[in-house]
Amino acid sequence: MRTQEIQAVRALLAELPDMATLTIEETRALYDQLAANVPLPEHTFTEAKDADGVKAEWLKLDEVSGDTVIFYLHGGGYILGSPDSHRHMVAAICQAASASALIVDYRLAPENPFPAAVNDAVTAYKWLLEQGTAPERIVIAGDSAGGGLTIATLVSLQEEGIALPAAAVCISPWVDLTNSAESYTTKVASDPMLTKERLDLMAQAYLQGQMPSIPLASPVFADLTGLPPLLIQVGTEEVLFDDAKNLEARAREANLDVTLQVWDEMIHVWHYFFPVLTDAREAIARIGEFIKAKAGEKAMQPQSA
């Protein structure tokens, strides 16, 4: 079943236009439209927000009565993505976690190079705290570039002395913009979405001449000491496979509470395809369990003696 489902997803991806032939505006529109026909859970409510000058979107489900908030940073190589492209996946994570979400619509490159995305994420997080949301009820999460931005945001918040969230989730994170890990070569034949060449172009658009090893651009090089519990999920068929493994190693060096979950046969951010992919639904369920344990209902229960 797993192999049949992921092969169907691969076939779907193979039918998409070659992004190398599209303008950046066309690519952004295509990316946003990919999930346009995926229905949201019944009684899902969304509202555009101005988070102290940063665009964002509240996403709430009527079935959720708790006050846990997922602070979500979408993927897209820092040049693509928006609440439109990720709303369906974030809604599914909210449903699994019994949480609401604030999806940050951070500024994109090349119009807004590094560190615009980091600055926007930090600003939006501070705004969320100003709305009265307790940091221990927040989980920061992101996929791909948003996974790297998740760690960079935590590092920046800690440097500023801002209260950190209860936990963090990184889905297929891109945390090393030097793009030099072994899997960039060994996994290229199995990854239908990313290549080293494509990631190099995205990194160049984001960095615009700045060093890729800057810790807030490539947080695998940052000091992770003191960051909250971290869940990392990655598929075995990803070019970014080693990014996830190296992030886990750096987190362990910093004595963090870190869990790496590796999913056989899965591709980059397979969660995106949860309507047709059992492994995606299971991975989202694992994220929901993690969030509940760290910031949700379970975290609110008194501990037995």
- Pinpoint the alpha helices (H) of the chain: 2-14, 24-33, 83-97, 116-130, 145-160, 183-186, 196-207, 241-253, 278-294, 297-300
Reduced to 3 states, what is the DSSP secondary structure of residue 154? helix
- CA atoms of 91 and 84, how far apart (whole Å): 11
| Rounded distance between C-alpha atoms, residue 300 and residue 266, angstroms | 34
Give the integer Cα–Cα distance in Å for 33 and 263: 27
Residues with a catalytic annotation lie at 144, 238, 268
Q: Which residues contact 94 (CB under 8 A, 6 or more apart)?
A: 59, 60, 61, 64, 70, 100, 101
Residues in the chain: 305
- Contact between 196 and 179 (Cβ < 8 Å): yes
DSSP per-residue string spanning 163-214? PP-SEEEEES----TT--STHHHHTTTT-SS--HHHHHHHHHHHHTTS-TT-
